[in-house]
Amino acid sequence: MSVTINSHQLGRLIARTVDHIGDDLIPALYGIRLDADTEYLYAVATDRFTIAAARYRHHEPDSENTAPAVPFARTIPATALPALREWLRTMPGHDPVTVTPADGRLRFTAPTGELAITIDPDAEFADWRGLLRGVTEQTPTTGEPVFPALGTRLQARWKSADGVVRVRATGDHQPVLVVGEEFLGAQMPTRTRRDGFSTDTDTLATLDDVRTAWQDSLSTGPAITPQTALPTPPQARDEASKAISEVVEDLLKQVLHSTQHLTAADTSEAIAAHATAGVTAWTAYRYLDALHTADPHFAATVVAETAGQLDDGAISEWAWDAARAAGHDPQQWHDALQESQTRKQTAA
């Protein structure tokens, strides 16, 4: 009984669900449930008011290269999670980690070491599959418009679910469905406001109540959409893009422009320059697309950091330091380039 996943993906499964762990008053919910089947490894946590399940496909159904994992389900105690997360941070993200339940422990084995966590192999956990299936199959209530009351403290727990999530509310007293990339969750509506009063007696319990209460404040202007009401600040032409969507657009535009210029170039130097620009832009796009698929949050961080480095204007220094850190000799590259340029000038 074991499953293998790289350390980055295992850490991400934990990060996406850790905020939903229950407190120690209910031991069965005081941790993250690792649940493996023959195709996915799931991380699940619930505090009874929210439930979150993230998954990672560790085995393709039609793959013939490796044998599928034997299903298992174990709960990692909340008290052991800091040690596990710190252990994962000490290794490269691509390192494989094999998770094996045995002898009252959950063993995490990597090329550089092993971590064993004591667990209760018989610990019960909520039927998370049944709970989330029930939420996905909810039918909308009839009558009044759906206007559930949601605790804002609980809403903050979805910050690590995904960069963007979809939500579905089907009734005032039914759980709200939260959907992200390889992520499924739900939040229960609340019946009590933060001040202790029941929402059933709230004067703003319906949309009509809200319109009535705000009518005098909002009636001085026409109803318009935010897209037309709120201006978008222009991006300076000399600033690098900080949003993934903008970077993707810039890279693909560069590929198409370079291809167009390539066919119209009249010198070998121009042809080489346009070809290099197009190939580099396409390569960067494919890498960014793969990174965004693996971890949208990390991709956004890398794009923002890269924009800062480009705006700094010292990318040659950044590249020099990166080359040395990777074990290369940038001085040798520099000398070889100068020698090549000198030969060309001499030949001319």
- For the stretch 127-174, pLDDT in tens is 999 999 999 999 987 776 788 889 989 999 999 998 889 999 998 889
* pLDDT tens sequence for the chain (348 residues): 789 999 999 999 999 999 999 999 999 999 999 999 999 999 999 999 999 999 999 876 555 555 555 689 999 999 999 999 999 999 988 899 999 999 899 999 999 999 999 999 999 999 999 999 999 999 987 776 788 889 989 999 999 998 889 999 998 889 999 999 999 999 999 876 655 555 555 667 788 888 888 888 888 878 887 766 677 666 555 677 778 888 888 888 888 888 888 777 777 778 888 888 888 888 998 988 888 877 777 788 888 888 888 887 788 888 888 888 889 998 998 888 888 888 878 876
At 65 the pLDDT is 53
Please give the CATH topology (third level) of the domain spanning 3-118.
DNA Polymerase III; Chain A, domain 2 (3.10.150)
How is the chain split into domains, by residue range?
Answer: 3-118, 140-214, 244-347
Q: How far is CA 132 from the centre of its chain?
A: 20
Strand order in the sheet with 31-36: 72-77, 31-36, 40-46, 50-57, 183-187, 176-180, 166-168
Averaged pLDDT of the chain: 86
Q: Cα separations (Å) of 1 from 10, 65, 73, 84, 106?
A: 17, 18, 10, 20, 11
At 348 the pLDDT is 67
- 40: enclosing H helix or E strand: strand 40-46
Q: What is the pTM of this model?
A: 0.75
How far is the C-alpha of 315 from the C-alpha of 320, rounded, in Å? Answer: 8
At 269 the pLDDT is 78
Longest dimension (CA), the chain: 90
At 343 the pLDDT is 84
- 292: enclosing H helix or E strand: helix 268-294
How far is the C-alpha of 138 from the C-alpha of 219, rounded, in Å? Answer: 37
Q: How far is CA 171 from the centre of its chain?
A: 28
Number of Cβ atoms within 10 Å of the Cβ of 15? 17
